[in-house]
Each structure stands twice: as C-alpha cells, then as structure tokens.
Amino acid sequence: MSGSDTPLPNDPLWPRAGHWLSSADSIDLPSAQLALIGVPAYTTSITPTGAWATPAAIRDALMRYSTYAGGRGVDVSALRAVDVGDVENPDGAEGETRVRAAVGVAASTGCSLLIALGGDNSITYPVMGGLLGDLSNCGLVTIDAHHDLRNGETNGSPVRRLLEAGLLGERVVQIGIADFSNSEGYAKRAAQAGIRVVTRNEVATRRPAEIVAEALEVAGAGGGGVFVDIDVDVCDRAAVPGCPSAAPGGLSAAELREFAFLFGRAPQVRGIDITEIDATADAADQRTVRLGALLVLEAAAGLCVRLQTGVV
C-alpha cells in the first residue's frame, strides 16, 4: 500500500527505514533490543473498521522515511530490531490467547522495548497482559481521546478489562481525554477507579515532557513495567482521516510524535501499542498510516537515547 506505483529511488546514502527491521529468521533473537509485532484485530470494534490492513500498511509506509533523526541525534539503524510478524486471527478469546503467547515469545528475546501495531484498541488488553504478566505492580498510560472503560469486550473496553485483571486504577494515566468523546458515566467510572486524567485542554497548556514525567511517576509507582497505549484517534481529525473516531481539535501529529519519543526514551516503558488506524479508510496521501510509521520511528529514536544513557 505504497500509495503510488512509481518505484522509490535507491540511494545508498539515504537508507530507508523499511529495510531497517530484521525478520525473525534472520537475526539472533536474544540479541534484539526492539521487537515489532503486528496484531490486526478488528472484529469487535464498535465502529466498523479495516484495521486488519494496518500493520502491513505501516510497514510499507516505513519505506517513505529514513532511519536518521538529526534533531534527536540518533540513527535508529543502530538498534538491533526484529519484526516477528503478525498474530494470525487475533480477535476473540482464542485470538487473544494467541496474542499473549506471541507477545510472550517476543518478550523472551529480552528486548528493551516491544512495539505492537494494531488493529483496533482491543489489542491493549492481551498485549499488555502477555508482555507484563502479573499486572498488580505495573502501570498503564493511554494517549487517547476516550476512557475505554465500556462494558463488554470491544475496542472500547481494554482499560476496564485490565483493571479487572489486576491493574490498579491508581497506576493508570490517561492523556488527551476529549470533551464530547466520552460520557459522564464513564468519566465517573474513571474517577472511582482512581485514574489520573489529563484532558485535551490540559495537554494544550503543559509541556509534553512535564506530562510524561508525571505519568511515569504515577504509572511506575509500583516498580513494575509500564505499558503505553497510543490510540491515534487522539489526534485532530484533519491529521488522521484514517481514524474513524477522531474528532476535530485533537492533538497535533507533532504532539503525538513527541509523546512517542518521550515514552520510548523512558526506561520504565516495556511496551507501546499503536492502534485505531483504519488503513482502508485513509486519505489518498496516506497521512494517517504514515503518522503510524513515524510513531514507530519516534519510539525507536527514544529507545536509542535510552540505550545511549546506559539505562534500560
């Protein structure tokens, strides 16, 4: 899904990020520092979605970018990074079991950071569980316009399900919660659980680094790993037309990229997911899918900085 039939130019001095990730059968897995896994869940989405197509589309979009982040002072090609492929049929109870198992295998490489490509937001539940196991001392940060505390087992319920699985609400931080995208009932549910909510309006008045520092202090208070859920529909709809539930006035693409970098840099963060992009509904210029690819690269750049400091 390159968006064009015109072949991309080949320049040895401009290596493409699409060539950066090694396949699982071509790298010594225990040496991997970053692992990428696709989780193309879509069948339980409240809003019909073609998110099953998104992991492949994001991998393809990586061909549009280089591996060099001059502003960050790093080249992500320095990372030993592996793409372990997609989980087959990840929806439903049996699918979630496959997701947890596949994530567990990827985590057994000892990688410092796992990035999961959704799929819809339902993947946060099995990916976090498969990566971190016992959730009682772990933390969750969501960058999302929605609370995701709905009843049932859909893309609107992963946070509620994680709470029921042992995650403590006082170690959950939700960044970007938007007006008119939630109900009073679910806002009360978040408050009753002890979740720290950073609204879209609050994000607009604070520096991302300040918000991230607070989120890590809250989510990391138990001493266990922290998982970060990036629901791309937190962005302004003009920036992400491939996100069915995005609304006008959300975060900018630049803000979301900065959050991905800062959380990738944090040693407490063990995993990040990127969800709610429908590659089949994107604009002709593929701006949503291309943002997804840049979020992968920003998180990887953060990991490069993390490893440079020697804190993993």
Chain segment 178-200, per-residue pLDDT in tens: 999 999 999 999 999 999 999 99
Do 141 and 203 touch, CB atoms closer than 8 A? no
Measured CA to CA, the distance from residue 90 to residue 69 in angstroms comes to 33
Do 39 and 88 touch, CB atoms closer than 8 A? no
The tokens for 256 are: 């979301």
The mean predicted confidence, pLDDT, of the chain is 95
Measured CA to CA, the distance from residue 137 to residue 299 in angstroms comes to 23
pLDDT at 2: 43
61 — pLDDT class (breaks 50, 70, 90): very high
pLDDT at 310: 74
Condensed to tens digits (0 to 9), the pLDDT of residues 256-281 reads: 999 999 999 999 999 999 999 999 99
| Global pTM value | 0.96
**CA dist 228 to 38, 201, 280, 281, 305, Å?**
16, 20, 25, 25, 18
Measured CA to CA, the distance from residue 305 to residue 265 in angstroms comes to 6
Condensed to tens digits (0 to 9), the pLDDT of residues 198-235 reads: 999 999 999 999 999 999 999 999 999 999 999 999 99
Do 60 and 13 touch, CB atoms closer than 8 A? no
